[in-house]
Structure 1
Amino acid sequence: MLYIVGLGPGSKALMTQEAIDVIKNTHTIVGYVTYIHLVEDMLKGKKLVVTGMRGEIERSKKAIEIAQTGEDVAIISSGDAGIYGMAGLVLELAAKEDVHIDVKVVPGVTASIGAAAALGAPLMNDFCHISLSDLMTPWDVIKERVDAAAKADFVICLYNPRSKGRPNNLREALDIMLKYKDENTVVGIGKDVARKREIIKTTTIKDLDETEINMTSIVIVGNKNTYVADGHMITPRGYTL
């Protein structure tokens, strides 16, 4: 069996019991070095296959090869494995190479959900996920998606919002949103959610400081009804109160 496991945002307390059980009972674990460090206390005595950044294809192929021998193996990623994680790539490779193995995707708490819980209740009405990384998706396509989501007044969860290699994507995306959203629209920021250096804060589109944002951040831009009360970011569901 090949397990594709979502570890959640970074704390064992936010891992699903299924994810914990799979890691506990599987001898071989495949993962990016940062993800391995997140659960290293659970990996004593296990066989580890570790790669660096951008080694996703290598890791996936190795996990598939191990599973083909009949050995149980788990490939891990942060958040949910099916949301910008490893699940799609593993299944695509297996299909492309006509490999028939048993695969089980083990869900995890994705960054938007972890950050939303810490912020309050910003995702109580329609929302979407958009990654601002243009490594896999052309930037023009991403901008079209940001425009459409903002025009429809979705709450927008921005993954991979800013890095040294693309320092301006976040501000450009926010500027697109300003075509439809007020500059005082509430924005929630979750940085290193559920990890030792966690930062949770609210601001506005106008006042957001991009220099505070990096690849371990999630940015949640509210809709026209989102507000802050007693420190909590709230998007009304629509109940008559």
Structure 2
Amino acid sequence: MLYLVGLGPGDEGTMTQDAIAAIQDAEVIVGYKTYTNLIKHLIEGKELIRTGMCKELERCEAAIEAAKSGKKVALVSSGDVGVYGMAGPVFEIIARDHLDLEVKVVAGVTSSVASAAMIGCPLMHDFCHISLSDLLTPWDLIEKRVRMAADADFVICFYNPRSKGRPDHLQKAFELMSPFKRPETPVGIVKAAGRAKEDMWLTTLAEIDYSVVGMTSMVIVGNKSTYRYKDYIITPRGYMV
């Protein structure tokens, strides 16, 4: 059995009961060091396979090999395992190698949902996720997606918005959106949602301070009807309130 487990944003309070049950049932835990550290109290005494950053395929291969040996294995990922997580490469390997392996995907709370809950209800209408990391996706394709999502007036949740290696990607994305979104469009920035260094800022498309945004940040940009009330960002669904 191979469990693919979404841990949520980091706090056990936002983990699903299914995720906790899968971890408890597993004999082997496989994951990125930062993620396994979040659940240390749940995995004591279990076999642990950990790797550092940029070792995603190695983790997937290790989890599959352990499961093939007959062990119950939980491959853990932050947020939802199927949203920029480990479910994709695992299933790709299984399909590539024509493996007959029992797999259970355990859903988790993804960063956009956890962050939206902290700032009100910005995702009440149609929204999309766009990762600004060009490690696996060409930048020209990312630019196209940003322009088209802004033109279609989606609320946009930016994953992987800014890092030392990509300090200007978020600013470029905001410049691409500017012909389609008002300067006063509300923007919410949530850092490390559900973790010890959690923080948040409410700003606008024109006034954003890019320097507060990092790799653990979620940036949510409203649509044309989104507005701010006190410390909340609200996107109307269309009910006659």
TM interval, shorter chain, is over 0.9
SS where residue 3 of structure 1 aligns? strand
Identity of aligned residues (%): 54
Structure 1 residue 184 and structure 2 residue 220: aligned? no
Q: Check whether the contact 2:25–2:72 (CA below 8 A) recurs between aligned residues.
A: no
> In structure 2, what residue type is equivalent to 1:198?
E
Give the corresponding residue for 2:134. 134
> In structure 2, what residue type is equivalent to 1:19?
A
Q: Check whether the contact 2:9–2:78 (CA below 8 A) recurs between aligned residues.
A: yes
Structure 1's unaligned 5+ residue stretches are none
Name the CA distance, whole Å, in 2 between partners of 1:44 and 1:166: 37
Name the CA distance, whole Å, in 1 between partners of 2:201 and 2:22: 34
SS where residue 62 of structure 2 aligns? helix
Give the corresponding residue for 1:58. 58
Give the corresponding residue for 1:125. 125
TM-score by length of 1: 0.99
Give the corresponding residue for 2:113. 113
Structure 2's unaligned 5+ residue stretches are none
Matches within 5 A, 1:57-76: 57-76=57-76
1:128-149 Cα shifts (integer Å, max 9, x gaps): 0000000000000000000000
Give the corresponding residue for 1:86. 86
Name the CA distance, whole Å, in 1 between partners of 2:43 and 2:111: 23
> In structure 2, what residue type is equivalent to 1:5?
V
Root mean square deviation, CA, Å? 0.6
> In structure 1, what residue type is equivalent to 2:82?
G
Q: Check whether the contact 2:122–2:235 (CA below 8 A) recurs between aligned residues.
A: yes
1:83-134 Cα shifts (integer Å, max 9, x gaps): 0000011000111112110001100000000000011000000000000000
- Give the drift of 1:201: 2.0
> In structure 1, what residue type is equivalent to 2:42?
M
Name the CA distance, whole Å, in 2 between partners of 1:224 and 1:202: 17
SS where residue 182 of structure 1 aligns? coil
> In structure 1, what residue type is equivalent to 2:227?
Y
Give the corresponding residue for 1:171. 171
Name the CA distance, whole Å, in 1 between partners of 2:151 and 2:128: 13
- Give the drift of 1:82: 0.2
**Equivalent pairs, count:** 241
Structure 1 residue 39 and structure 2 residue 39: aligned? yes
- Give the drift of 1:230: 2.6
